Amino acid sequence: MKKNKERKRQGTDEYLLKYELFKSNAFVLINKMIQLCNKTHGSQHLVDEICYSIFFFGQIFDPNGNLNIYPKDIFGDDQTFIEKLSSKYNKPFEYFHSQTSTERPLPRRSPFSCVLDMFVLQNGPEDEIQIRKSLEDLVNELKDMNLNLEKKFLDFKKGEPEENKQCLEFKKDLDKKKQDLDEKKKDLDEKNKDLDEKKQDMEVTKNKLDVKNENLNFEKECLDLEKKNLRLEKEIWKKKDLDLRREKKLELVSTVICVSKYKNSEKHYGVSMSTTSLNAGRIVIAASCLSGYWNKYVADAVMTYYPEQNQKKNEKKKKKDYFDGTFKLPESISCKAYHITKRTEMNPCISCRNLFGLKEWENNLKEWENNYGNCAEAECLSNLLLDVSLEIKPEQHTYNPEDRENARASVETVLKNTLKTVHFKWNGEYYPPQTQRP
């Protein structure tokens, strides 16, 4: 009973911290977009759109509808700032200024996608290095702020050492596991060295009567070593996956950027969904498919794996048996994804293979816990195909229009039910950003 009570309190503390991190990141992102807008011609619509998208996520922050986040929670008591911003971008504030039960449209995409478009517009699509650096600098700034906020939160909770200990020991456990893995690797290297020496000894004593037994023993040791190496490699990849999932806990922030290009076309970009809950991701992915934000090829592919109404939450993701809109990307198109802050290239996962025919790496034979369409490749390829649709047609499975309409209807049904779950009233439309003012 006592343990359950402690778990409940710890869960509440983590939830309150997440609440503060959301507000902090929301303020930084909107303020950054305003600053960039002042230096980037034709970008007002991006500020308008990110405001609406962030305000929407604030509304569905609490699945129970008890702790929603409103613009006044993000901007605090700075009434002058709020009035100035709301006079310029009035629509988002009109929809979310108070606890009303009015029906509202859905955003077409997640907030960080607007940030990406701002940097592309500011630097030009061919300056990939600067675009990626700008995103990296912003994410690192947010990470530092989040760490400071988390430290303040822990300092505030100093009167409760048990909770503090659990929070602080998470990183210690990861570091210890890494140290253990390094030691295992060192031991395996030593064994490899011993095995090499044994192999040399066997070659020298090849004519002895026991050479056959030596060889058999050597083979057995090699097999055992290979199994240990595979287990070690699996543990290392588990650690890497855990690191990536920890990165994804940054509220409203993407972790991966994707860059694609077709022959002489300009470069196109996309980021992973900057959502931190399953329902939020499911909502925005459906909106991207149904609103026309995503190119038809990408939307069809994602709808193919979008969950059906009767599909259980933890059930393995599966393709629709009545509709297949997946396609194979032509080899003439390059498509590469990178971790925003680590700068390392991210090999396609099995989800991207299933959707777009991308070749996944042999050590990445897994489906991410997120929804199909969460990866940066979806938005990136959509932007590319929207640009070169007249020049190239991906190799897509055939289907009849009626099956596609049934798939769209299925996606919309799940979308509506998910919106009911998070207590959001939808007017059936998608938010159109304000057009650029002269």
Q: How confident is the model at residue 438 (pLDDT cuts 50, 70, 90)?
A: very low
pLDDT in tens, 37-65: 999 999 999 999 999 999 999 999 988 77
Question: What pLDDT is recorded for position 48?
Answer: 97
Q: Are strands 327-328 and 268-271 parallel, antiparallel or unpaired?
A: unpaired
Categorize the per-residue pLDDT at 207 as very low, low, confident or very high, splitting at 50, 70 and 90: low
Q: Does residue 289 surpass a pLDDT of 90?
A: yes
Structure-model confidence comparison of residues 167 and 92, the more confident one: 92
Q: Are 238 and 230 in contact (CB under 8 A)?
A: no
| Predicted TM-score (pTM) of this structure | 0.78
Which residue would you say has higher pLDDT here, 178 or 391? 391
Which pLDDT does position 164 carry in this prediction? 46
Give 210-243 pLDDT, tens digit per residue.
Answer: 656 666 676 677 777 777 766 666 565 545 544 5
**Mean of per-residue pLDDT scores for the chain:** 84
According to the 3-state scheme, what is the secondary structure of the chain?
A: CHHHHHHHHHHHHHHHHHHHHHHHHHHHHHHHHHHHHHHCCCCHHHHHHHHHHHHHHHHCCCCCCCCCCCHHHHHCCCHHHHHHHHHHCHHHHHHHCCCCCCCEEECCCCHHHHHHHHHHHHHCCCCHHHHHHHHHHHHHHHHHHHHHHHHHHHHHCCCCHHHHHHHHHHHHHHHHHHHHHHHHHHHHHHHHHHHHHHHHHHHHCCCCCCHHHHHHHHHHHHHHHHHHHHHHHHHHHHHHHHHHHHHCCCCCCCCEEEEEEECCCCCEEEECCCCCCHHHHHHHHHHHHHCCCCCHHHHHHHHHHCCCCCCCCCCCCCCCCCCCCCEECCCCEEEEEEECCCCCEECCCHHHHHHHCCCCCHHHCCCCCCCCCCCHHHHHHHHHHHHHCCCCCCEECCCCHHHHHHHHHHHHHHHHHHHHHCCCCEEEEECCCCCCCC
pLDDT at position 365: 46
- Burial, 52: exposed, middle or buried (Cβ in 10 Å; 0-12, 13-18, 19+)? buried
For the stretch 340-363, pLDDT in tens is 999 999 988 889 999 999 986 555
pLDDT of residue 163: 46
Q: What is the pLDDT of residue 428?
A: 97
Q: Which tens digits make up the pLDDT trace of 233-280?
A: 656 554 554 454 444 468 899 999 999 999 989 999 999 999 878 899
Checking if the pLDDT of 85 tops 50, the result is yes
Higher per-residue confidence, 435 vs 321: 321
Residue with more model confidence, 184 or 386? 386
Counting residues of the chain whose pLDDT is more than 70, the rounded percentage is: 76
Instruction: Show Cβ contacts of residue 335 under 8 Å, excluding neighbours closer than 6 positions.
Output: 258, 259, 260, 329, 356, 358, 377, 380, 381, 384
pLDDT of residue 167: 47
